[in-house]
Chain A
Amino acid sequence: KAGVTQTPRYLIKTRGQQVTLSCSPISGHRSVSWYQQTPGQGLQFLFEYFSETQRNKGNFPGRFSGRQFSNSRSEMNVSTLELGDSALYLCASSSTGPGYEQYFGPGTRLTVT
């Protein structure tokens, strides 16, 4: 099976702009979780989608949002970008949810200037 894919791999944006990141899960996986990875904070949970519904949400401001499509592909949107949003954004897919085997994509490196 093909692994989890994410696009784009790299992004450079300026403060105030918005950005949309995409994640395609492993075929047959219905759960997609998003994480923010920074050197000081490790992996911080953003949210999880399952069958087009947001099941879980982490402690991030409302500027961070997401959605999932009927084919399980997911998008994450960040509006009004801030410098502190610079990070590696990882998505992970699972057949049933994060409490089971979860596989990560390569990530999108977002740099906000």
Chain B
Amino acid sequence: GENVEQHPSTLSVQEGDSAVIKCTYSDSASNYFPWYKQELGKRPQLIIDIRSNVGEKKDQRIAVTLNKTAKHFSLHITETQPEDSAVYFCAASIRNNRLAFGKGNQVVVIP
């Protein structure tokens, strides 16, 4: 299968708190997992990615963890700020070197 599912669909957090978005995938051959951030009216922007040979990757306030056994990966945003408000898309590589995207999570950071 080629399904990538994201949970929750909408997430509201207080400024300064952490936000976690989880994605599940179905293709056991998937080996590349990027996360994109899309602000209103703007293009999706690659913010972090991870390959299947590592379990965690961190870049300043964002991190991604991967559990290949359970087929899920998560985006962690710490010390959230208003500018973190956006739609976040996860994706997984699938057959024929394609990317399958989740439907996106709306993250709202409340000042």
Chain A residues in the interface with B (C-beta under 8 A): 33, 35, 41-43, 45, 48, 55-56, 90, 97-107
Contact = CB atoms under 8 A, between A and B. Distances in A.
A99 B93 contact: yes
A72 B47 CA distance: 25
Interface residues of B, number: 22
B73 interface: no
Contacts of A55: 96-97
B46 A56 contact: no
A32 to B, nearest CB: 13
B28 to A, nearest CB: 15
Contacts of B49: 101
Contacts of A43: 44, 89, 91, 101
Contacts of A45: 98-101
**Interface SS of chain B:** strand
Interface of B: 31-32, 34, 36, 42-46, 49, 89, 91, 93, 96-104
Given A43-B89, A98-B93, A103 B98 contact: no
Given A42-B89, A42-B104, A43-B89, A99 B99 contact: yes
A48 B98 contact: yes
Contacts of A101: 34, 46, 49
B50 to A, nearest CB: 12
23 contacts: A33-B99, A35-B101, A41-B103, A42-B89, A42-B101, A42-B103, A48-B98, A55-B96, A56-B97, A98-B97, A98-B99, A99-B97, A101-B34, A101-B46, A101-B49, A102-B34, A102-B99, A103-B46, A104-B43, A104-B46, A105-B43, A106-B42, A107-B43
